[in-house]
Structure formats: C-alpha cells, structure tokens
Chain A
Amino acid sequence: MSELKKRNFHEAQWDESIIFEQSVPGSRSILFPDASEEAGVCPGELIPAGLKRKSKPELPELAQPQVLRHYLRLSQETIGQDFDIDIGLGTCTMKYSPKINEQFVRNPKFAELHPYQPDETAQGILKVIYDFEQIMKEISGLDAVSFQAGGGGQGIYANAAVLKQYWRDKGEADQRTQIITTILSHPIDSAAPATKGFEVISLYPEANGYPSIEALKAVVGPKTAGIFITNPEDTGVFNPIIREFVEVVHEAGGLCVCDMADYNGLFGIVRAKELGADMCHFNLHKAFASPHGCMGPGCAAQCVSAELEKYLPRPRVRFDGEKYYTDYDGPASVGKIRQFHGSLAAVIRAYAWVMSLGREGLKTVAETAILNNNYMMKRVLNEVRGISMSWAEEAPNRLEQVRYSFEKLYKDTGVSAEDVNHHLLDFGFQRFFASHHPLIVPEPFTPEPTESYSKDDIDEYVDALIQICEEAYTEPEKVLNAPYAGPISRLEEDHIHDWSELCVTWRVWKRNHGLA
C-alpha cells in the first residue's frame, strides 16, 4: 500500500432552508416598468379570460443576491464529478466532460436557436445532427440513427416502440408478445418492453457470470418478439457467446436489441452490427462525454438496421446534396418519443468529443478504461480485506467495471457495503453505486475507473478502501458510525412504499404537513 493521502476534507454546511421558506412577501428580483400607459391598456386585460389565473402563483419572493446565494450554497453542498474522484459510480461512466464543449453549447448561435425556425436558417445545427448520425452509423455498424430519446431509458423505450411497430406491421403483434432479457442487463431492458405491453422473461447467470444458451433455448419460441441484452453486463463480464444468443433468437424470428449504455470498454473493438444486433442505443451523456444530470441533459443515440429505419421517431434530418432539411414524413414511424430533435446540446458535445479524438483516439479511450479497471481490480482484490469478485473462478476477466462484494467483510465484522459507502464520504469521495435491482450479488459495490482517472487517482481511491476495511476489522464502530466529515451523520433509512407518501413539490409538502 502506498502512503495514504488522506485529505483534511469536510463537506460544506450552510444549514440552508428551502427557497420557499426564505420568501419575503413583496421582495422582487426585477421591477418591471408599468406598461399600461404606453400600451393604453392594462396588459393583463389582453389575456383571454379563460387563460387567466384565478389566484397569484405561490412563488418564492426574493431579490437577486438572495437567489444567487441560495443556489451557490446548494452547489457547495453537492459533490460532483468535477471535484471528486468519481470512480465509485460504476455503470454511469463518470468521465471528464471537456469544458471547451460548454463554449459550443452556450454559443448564442446554438443557445438562441428556436426549434420552429425554418430549415434554411438552421443549416448549421442540421448539419451537426446529420454528420453525427453518419458517425454513429459507423460506430454502431447500423444504418440509421435518431437522437430524439432524452436518456438511456428512453432510448431503450424507443427501441421497444420500434420493435412493437415492426411486429404490428408484419401482422404478428398478437403472437410476438414476449421479450427475453438477462437479470444483469439494466432493469430498463425489462421495464421498457413491459411499458410497451410485452411480457418479459429474464435469464439468470450461471457460474460463469452469464446465462447459458440452454436457458435461452428453453424460453425462446414463436412468442419471442426479441431479446434486449446488455453486453458487457452490469458486472463487467462480457458474454463471449453473444453471437450464439443472437442467432438463437434470430432463428426463432425475433430481433436483437443491444443495450450499449455501458460502451466505454468497447470503442473501436466491438460494434453492434458484428454482434448481430438489429437495434442498439448509446448514452451520449455517458461514454460520449456529455455530462450527466445538472449540466446534462441526457440523450440516447438510437441506432437501427436499414429494415427498421422507417419506424424511427420523426422528424429525421436529411441532406439532398445541397441543403439539410427536416423530414416529418413517415407513416410507419413510431411518431414522437420526445419533442423536436432531442437534446441537441448533448449531440454537440458528443460530436465535438468524437471529432477531437478520431478513430484511434476512441479506441485508446476503451483500452485505457479497461487498463484502469484491471489495474484497480488487481489492487482491490489483493489489498482490500474482506472484498471479493463474483464469478471470479470461472470468469476472472472484466472489461471496464467490476461488481465486487463486501459479503465477507460483512460476515466477519458486521460492516456492510452501505457502511463502507458512508465512510468514503470522509475521504472526500461521493457515494458509490452498489448495484441495479435485484441484488443477486450480496453487499455489492460497482466502481468504474474510466479513462479520465490517473494512476494516482485510482491509488487514492483504493488506499481509502484499504484503510476503511482495515478499520472494519480493528475498530468496526468507527466505520459503523461514519460519516464524520459531513454536516449530518446518518439519516434514518426510510423508504416510500405508498405513492401518497411521495412529496416532490412544495405544495404537496405543505399539504402532507398540514400547512395548507
């Protein structure tokens, strides 16, 4: 173990109340001049009676400095990818998002575009969409791409919608009612087809970490509409018989949809087409370096074969040799998944990222991500007490991420994965990702050291894990009572089983607390 660099870290604490609670009646951020005199009429009277509010909206009333201060304080209380070594959040591909790309999307030429502008005044963005579609065709090996889906889950949904439409078109929608997936694919690979009315059959892994071809053959048949499969699975295990899987489904008449959300270890190495996929999707806000969440938003590249192009969401962007234009036509299309062309800020960032790297650069991304993960894996398995890797005996290799288990640590010391997670905050790391549902690996931990992290970054993270697990064996109370470097220690763990307990707006909060 190298010398531990434990930072003297403490989370910010502002004790900041909800902005509604800071409201001072009468306070204003902007005082608008009275327009009545110039307009000759009270502006309110120009609004049709049916559109007028009966009462004023209950908005917080604050001046600009108070508003700015409030949100800056909240931002300080938040740990984000840009100022923590965000290795722990596996399956999310937390990589560096180049800041120069923010200049492109904040450029008024893009920021002030209106989606209803005539095509001839928006040739630039249409060209970006068109060109990036050509790039994504090359990366996937498939024949047509839509960027309309506003996130990975919606990308899978969009593919499920295309699949449904495909079977309707063939007149077999009533027969082809079942989707096959694997329990270690992303849960949305089950949920999205279910939303489209398909039944779902999930395959469980064997001792080698992926399902057997026998299990697949046992459930495939004339009812099979298709298979939705993530590869590598959530665990970083690559299913080496994926082509056999696809062949079995194809022989039964079904289509293959590849979930390429976890693509970071495959750039330049594996394409959806060679796997035999008919459809796939990528998350531009993950492997393609457009940021997640607050600076987001998300965007999926939905890629399909030529046969399925007519089902893609509309509109599509086309090029007639001279100019780019928006094509709304498409009677077979699934219609709109989302408004307009999708999250174009994500498309611009991803386009810039790909162009800055080129073909060789992209392959280097995957190779570095795999190298980083394997370096980390070696250290973790050799040096962190009480940790193990599932299916390690039969499947010792991993690509870009690993699902570890703290089961031994937990049995030896009573310190659970969740306790380790709490203590990591004391080292200045954000919470790690445990696992998608259901937890078939006990006490799970899924880190993903993408290509953005240096050897020193990885060492700092692993050293913290080593120290925490040593403490678990020598002073378990210390880990069980963590975190110490946060404004609050442990929150009571609670969960909502009943939707009526859910409270996502101020209005509902007041109602649930008897204030309204």
Chain B
Amino acid sequence: MLKLGLIVNPIAGMGGRVALKGTDGREVLAKARQRGAVPEAGVKAEKALRMLLPHRDSLCVYTASGAMGQDLCEKLGLPCRMVYEAPGPETSAADTAAAARALAEIPADLLLFAGGDGTARDVCGAVGEAVPVLGIPAGVKIQSAVFAFTPEDAGAVAAVMASGTPMTDSLREVVDLDEDEYRQGRVGARLYGVMRIPDCPDRLQSMKQSGFATEAGQLEAIAAFLDEHLEPGLIYAVGSGSSAKCISRRLGLPYELLGVDLIRDRQLIARDVTEEQLWTYAGTGKLRIIVSPIGGQGFLFGRGNHQFSPRVLKAVGKDGITVLSPESKLLSIPDHTLRVDCGEEEVNRLLRGYYMVLCGYGYHAAIACK
C-alpha cells in the first residue's frame, strides 16, 4: 500500500499568464487576481492524479484540507486522509511547509507537490532529504531539477510505486529566482537546497533495464577519472550542486553544497568563495572550473552560481571549464542542450559551442551549449 503525500499550492502559477513572473507574496497574488488570473495548480494536479486511478486499491493519499489536496481526492474518488488543516481559505507558504512536515512525519513513501520553484523551496525547507519528493510542474518558475516533465509524468512515477516497484532516488537541486529582481529584468537565481527525487521520472523506461550503473555509480566513475586528470598547481573551482561535488567526495574534502569551493593539489584551499575571491585567482591564469548543469534545465552558468561572473568566466575561458553530468541528467534536459546566461552577452557567446561532458570513466558526451 503506497502512502502518497500530496500538497497542492492552490495559487501557484497564477502570476504567469498575467505576466507577473511568479506569485510569491500576498500583494502579487492580489494583483494577479485583479488581472484575472485563475487557479491552475489544481488542474495540473488532477492530470497527475488521474494516472493513479487504475491503482486506487493499492494506495492512500495523505494530504491537506480543501484546495491543498483533499477536494481533488474526493472529486476523483481516491482514498485519502487529511494530515493538515489550513487555518483559512487563503493558503500561504507556511501552510505548504506545515503540511510537508506532517507528511514527512508519517512518513510518506513519496511526496507529490503541485507548484513552482517557490513551492519547491517551501517543501525543501520543511522535509529536506527525509522523504522522496517529486514536483508536478504548475508554477510560473520551473528552474529546479525536482519536477517531472509533465503532470502526467509525475503521476506515472507514483503509479509505478503503487504497483509495487521500488525506486531509487538521487539528490536534485532546488533553485529559485528572486522574483522582485526578476520583475525588474535581473535574473538572480539562488540554490536553496537539495531533495531526494525518484530517478528518471521522465524516462521511466530506463529504470526497467537492469545492469546499468546507477547515478551514484556514474558519479563515482566520473570522480575517479577527474581525480586522475587533476593537474598539479592548478586551482579548480568546484561549482555548486551534488553532482559537481563528486570530486570533493572522492578526495575526502569538505565542501559547501550550495557554494563554490577551491581545490589545489587535492587540498581544499577555500570553501564557499565569493566572486571577488574567484576573480583574484582568475588573475593568476591557473583557475579552472568544474561544473554540472542543472537537471531539467541545462544551465551551466547564470542559475544559482553567480560567483562565476562574466569577468571570471572570460578569464578562465571555455577551454578551462570541465562539465560533468550523469547521463540521466543530460537526458532530462530538453533537446540535450546546455545553456549559459551569465549576464553579459559577449561572454555568453564565448562560452557557446560544444562541450565534452564527462559522463563516466573516460566517457564523454559531446553536447551543444546555446
């Protein structure tokens, strides 16, 4: 019997259609309503839950009151239990977090949430790595690597679990833009944390083929190869996220998951460095960068790692950048294309072209960066 957690953020996505670039905060929500926005998250969540109808005998949905999930389960006739009751009709980030905490306590076998990056942040802050989580994409901003491609894909993952198939999961990044800055034309994404996401939600089939290396295994192989190819005297700036830090784990070095660390001669020389520090090292001509793209998005620079500023990237140059990624993450990126958005078009242009993305021990994928 699958214990499926469900949280719908009823207001997620309302800002998008009315060009508000997000729906964070009550004022923006009021403005969105004024402009005629209608709730969409419930519709997206329903698409996901419909995938579960054939499995209704082998699951129970644990959810929150009213529009946060209960209404939907009752409409579809899915067995459900309420674990959190929102105090009022207008729900907020605090309700999402409280419901998520209640679901982590059960614990749910999988927590589905319908929302965007803001909702992902709230869920991540509440449950961390306690339970596997998967996002039903329903928000304006979907930059994080914790969402299925489509609502149906998210439902399908739950359906697979309801049919008794165990699933492995991997740590994936939650990033979010600062909406106020975004509205003013500046992209200021930050990495907020990681959650446990079922493997290959958009490519379920691949899990059914046995005999292939797990993502963790691939990262170990990548790290082993990198280790053998680190050059003495060079300074390696290891980017944020759990994939890039595989080299730190391999070398047994402490690291800042959401920041940039510097490694020289297999030793940590600085942890969680600033742009200024990177710029100083870039001046020596010995700085190299090790990064991994954000899953589902493909961004190498400009999302969650602004320490790599245009001037730092220009100094290091395309040839000084090593991109690594487990193959499954590459496949999660639409068109298998990397992206850069560092803030200066001239530098973006320098960084475009093909990268030999390290996907395994001595195994590279030639991937275009646009």
> Interface residues, chain A, CB within 8 Å of chain B?
183, 190, 194, 198-204, 211, 214-215, 218-219, 410-411, 414, 416-418, 434-435, 437-440, 442-444, 476-477, 480, 490, 492-497
> Given A493-B165, A495-B207, A202–B156 Cβ distance below 8 Å?
no
For residue B268, CB closer than 8 A to chain A, the reply is no
Whether the pair B362, A200 counts as a contact (CB closer than 8 A) is yes
For A179, the closest partner residue in chain B by CB is B362
A202 near B353 with CB under 8 A, answer no
Q: How far is the CA of A444 from the CA of B362 in the complex (A)?
A: 28
A201 contacts B356, C-beta separation under 8 Å: yes
Instruction: Name B328's closest neighbour in chain A (CB-CB).
Output: A438
For the A-B complex, the count of residue pairs with Cβ-Cβ distances under 8 Å equals: 101
The answer to whether the Cβ of B133 comes within 8 Å of any Cβ in the partner chain is no
Contacts of A439 in B (CB 8 A): 203, 205-206, 209, 331
- Residue on A nearest B355 in the bound complex, by CB: A218
- Among B51, B164, B362, B363, chain A packs the most CB atoms within 10 A around the CB of B362
Q: Which of A201, A214, A493, A495 contacts B364 (CB 8 A)?
A: A201
Q: Could you tell me if A417 and B365 are in contact, using CB atoms closer than 8 angstroms?
A: no
B164 CB contacts on chain A under 8 angstroms: 492
Interface positions of B from 183 to 220, Cβ below 8 Å from A: 202-212, 214, 217
Contacting A at CB under 8 A, from B343-370, are: 353-354, 356, 359, 361-368
Which B residues between 295 and 348 are near A, CB-CB below 8 angstroms? 327-328, 331, 336
- Contacts A199-B362, A201-B364 given: A495-B210 contact, CB under 8 Å? yes
Residue with the greatest number of chain A CB neighbours at <10 A, chosen from B205, B207, B217: B205
B155: Cβ under 8 A from any A Cβ: yes
A215 and B366 in contact, given A434-B205, A493-B165 (Cβ under 8 angstroms): yes
Q: Which residues of B, 107-147, contact A by the 8 Å Cβ criterion? A: none
* Cβ contact within 8 Å between B328 and A414: no
A203 to B357, CA, bound (A): 11
Q: State which of B159, B209, B331, B364 has its C-beta within 8 Å of the C-beta of A200.
A: B364
- For B208, what are the chain A residues with a Cβ–Cβ distance below 8 Å? 418, 493, 495
Q: Is the CB of B212 within 8 A of A437?
A: yes
The answer on a CB contact under 8 Å between B51 and A414 is yes
Q: Which of B211, B327, B336 contacts A495 (CB 8 A)?
A: B211
A202 closest partner in B (C-beta): B365
Q: Do residues B336 and A204 form an inter-chain contact, with CB atoms below 8 A?
A: yes
- C-alpha gap A439/B209 in the complex (Å): 10
Query: A442 contacts B205, CB within 8 Å?
Result: yes
Task: Report yes or no: B364 in contact with A202, Cβ–Cβ below 8 A.
Answer: yes
Which residues of A sit under 8 angstroms from B166, Cβ to Cβ? 494
Min distance, Cβ A477 to any Cβ of chain B, angstroms: 5
CA distance A434 to B51 in the complex (A): 22
Would you call B24 an interface residue if the criterion is a C-beta within 8 Å of the partner chain's C-beta atoms? no
Which are the 10 A-B pairs with shortest beta-carbon distances? A495-B210, A218-B354, A199-B362, A414-B51, A411-B152, A201-B364, A493-B165, A439-B206, A219-B366, A477-B54
A74 to B269, CA, bound (A): 64
Contact with A along B44-61 (1 / 0, CB 8 A): 000000110010000000
Q: Would you list 20 pairs from A and B whose C-beta atoms are within 8 A, ordered by A residue?
A: A190-B363, A194-B361, A198-B362, A200-B363, A201-B366, A202-B364, A202-B366, A203-B366, A204-B367, A215-B368, A219-B366, A410-B156, A414-B51, A434-B209, A437-B206, A440-B336, A477-B54, A490-B163, A492-B164, A497-B214
